[in-house]
Amino acid sequence: MRFDQAKKGLLHLKDLYDQWDLRGFIILSLCLQIVLIIAAPLRKRTSNNYINVPIWIAYLLADYIANYSVGLIAKTQSQRLEPTTTTTGPIQNPNLLAFWAPFLLLHLAGPDTITAYALQDNELWLRHFFQLIFQTAAAGYVFVLTLASGNLLWPPTLLMFVTGFIKYTERTRSLYFASVRRFRESLLHDPNPGPDFAKLMDVYFTMKQANLPSKIEMILEPQKVAVNKLDMIGNQKPMEDLEIIRKAYGFFLTFRGLLSDLIFSFRERNQSRSFFLLRTPREAFKIVEVELNLFYEILYTKVVVIQRPSGYATRLISFLAALSALVLFILEPKSSQHFHPFDVGLTYLLLAGTIVLDVLSFIMLIYSDWTAVAVTKTDRPNFIMKLIRKLLLVKRKRWPNDLMDSPTWFSRFKDVLSFGRRWSQAIPQYNLIYYCLNQRSMIVANLIGFIGITNLLDRLKYVRTKRFNKRLRDFIFHQLQVKSNMAVDLETSKEIYSGRGDWALRFEGCGHLLKYINGVDYDESLISWHIATDLCYYTDKDEDLVENESSREICKYLSNYMLYLLIMQPAMLSGLASIGEIRYRDTCAEALKFFKSKKLLSKLEKEKKIKGDENIKSVPNPTHIKACHNILGVNTEAKPVTVKGDRSKSVLFDACILAKELKELDGRRKWEVMSKVWVEMLCYGACNCRAYTHAAQLSKGGNLITLVWLLMVHLGLGNQFQISEGHARAKLIVGK
């Protein structure tokens, strides 16, 4: 009896699902489109996983649900052709099903704000191309089946079919244009074979045989430099926000080949370098932010397809087609078609949603940086162009606030939603000593390791975030300006951008510290200087804290940030960290062994019981300070390698020796030297990271190291400039 009741209950649920599954999936598909068009732009402004993960889930579900729904409609229509099949449920009108199919094709196209979630998605353009063919054929098949039965909804269905096909084609083309190979090909110039060598040598040999005096000389031809009005922007006057946008667009056109590892001429280097040397830190970083934002949009959105005459034309056609479909459906008498009232309401919802999404996309388009540049290209606008500029508020303030040291939670939330913010402005912090002092229990560690979520939970437990502030921004830019002023030629530039702390130590007269940078791997020096920075930071005398507060905080920010990149984002430093993971693990193991011998971990447990875990995470805390003092108290007269051998790669007490030598310097000078070393380490990591890896970070809130990389290029500190200025042509000169 109970079995029969359970069976009836399951059959009832199955019937309920069969009746309402298509409706539910269509409503869910529309909701996902609304979520994506609103939330997708947020991922370039925040690195918060609580925002990015839901966007990723919505991005995946949008395709799956739309594909499944199209297949469900095609299956339902095919079953209606079978004479033995009886139709049950509220959706009994095949004409309405045929009308819904193009909407799902439209949802497969996705909103304008996201075509690819990750950079690798662009390489799947061929898969989307075949999906475009198959899903269009499925929607067309559903439509054709209803024509024989006298479908009175065929005009609006055909119009929506056109709209869906156009939008899906736009997405496929956007993915294709952003793929690595196609993007690189689009930037290559026409091949230049040079002068006709064979013909020239034949003439020269003939002249020689005739005993006619002749010689071949290389004549330098001056290049005709086109005057770009965007290049005329920029002098020593403060730049307005619109000028920053226009100048960034000009540099974007010149340097977009960076994403494909192309090389540039010295003329382009000199123009960019001379401009940025005259800029303030705020102006320079804003230009770089806008330029990276333009990179993001051509790689992850439909802007590369829309921002062209054909794109505007197809967008207008699709909008008018959707609007016409709505009018035709309104004029169609519903009573004669036997439509279910809920289905009529759902159809209106789909039509209204399509139009609203188009309007939102249009608003985002006309208020974008691309449109601001397009309508301000001419310096002598006509009346219509002046009116358009006023309507679009092109001279509006695009960065409402400068960087704040301690923003409130409300200002952070407002910045994430603001269109003026173009990257996360976050500096992740990861500290080795804090990690060792706050280890999980062995049981918990083994459990999460077995599940495979150790890295995820480590980010939540050990990674904190600091705000990118004006002091750090100004210090980094001024250091790069100093180096750019010295990099007058290619050889000097190469020596400067190849420095990873040694250049700063020589400049500051600290040659005795070069052994901790030269002759050791980059990851070894990074971990050593990270621990040494921590030891100096937490054992400074009280009178030095206020005097050197700015330099101390800069060192602390950059030290924790670089260790975060090495451990949590190893792809950013993959070409530099040879055995960084092994060295880090060995160092942590030695630190844990040392802390246990000093009974520091038991003291930490007492603090947890008294104060609570939240206070332990807010370093500094007494145990952290005590740990640093204990490490510095170790006798280091003998080098660690002579005692331990080379089997262990730990650098804990090598860093202790470095910290003791740093503490011998004057307090202010010590932190100035260390801050300059950390900026060099950051710059070295930036210029040795692949451009593809930098581009992959743009969809994850951006990264400080990516901004520094592009800023270094603009200041002429990079290996991208290898083309000599001027063109040489061979010329045959006859006579003396």
pLDDT in tens, 597-654: 888 876 555 555 444 443 334 446 788 999 999 999 988 887 887 777 677 888 999 9
142 and 74 Cβ atoms separated by less than 8 Å: yes
Q: How far apart are CA 136 and CA 126, in angstroms?
A: 15
What 3-state DSSP class applies to 223?
Answer: coil
User: Residue 165 and residue 138: Cα distance in Å, rounded?
Assistant: 12
State mean pLDDT over 706-728: 80
- The phi, psi pair for 229, rounded to 5°, reads -65, -25
* Phi, then psi, of 732 in degrees rounded to 5: -90, 120
- Averaging pLDDT over each range in 62-76, 92-106, 188-202, 469-483, which range is the top one? 469-483
Mean pLDDT of 573-577: 79
Residue 294 vs residue 579, higher pLDDT: 294
Q: Please give the structure tokens belonging to residue 543.
A: 């009178």
Can you tell me the distance from the alpha carbon of 271 to that of 251, in angstroms, rounded to the nearest whole number? 10
Burial of 330 (0-12, 13-18, 19+ CB in 10 A): exposed
For residue 19, name the pLDDT band (cuts at 50, 70, 90): confident
Q: So what's the pLDDT on residue 233?
A: 45
DSSP 8-state assignment for residue 397: -
* Residue-wise DSSP of 432-456: HHHHHHTPPPHHHHHHHHHHT-HHH
Q: Provide the mean pLDDT of the chain.
A: 83
Residue identified by tokens 């078609």 is 337
Q: Which residues contact 437 (CB under 8 A, 6 or more apart)?
A: 595, 600, 601, 604, 623, 624, 627
pLDDT of residue 733: 65
Structure tokens at 641: 């390698």
Instruction: Single out the residue of 47, 479, 468 nearest to residue 286, CA to CA.
Output: 468
pLDDT at 447: 86
Residue 231 makes CB contacts below 8 A (sequence gap 6+) with 250, 271
pLDDT at 84: 46
Strands 426-429, 727-734: pairing kind: unpaired
The residue length of the chain stands at: 736
Reported in sequence order, the residue ranges of 643-726 that DSSP labels E, i.e. its strands, are 721-723
Q: What is the pLDDT of residues 42-59, one digit of tens each?
A: 999 888 888 999 999 999
Report field, pTM of the whole predicted structure over 0.95: no
Mean pLDDT of 320-324: 94
CA-wise closest residue to 115 among 371, 354, 296: 296
Among the listed ranges 9-18, 157-166, 549-558, which one has the minimum average pLDDT value?
A: 9-18
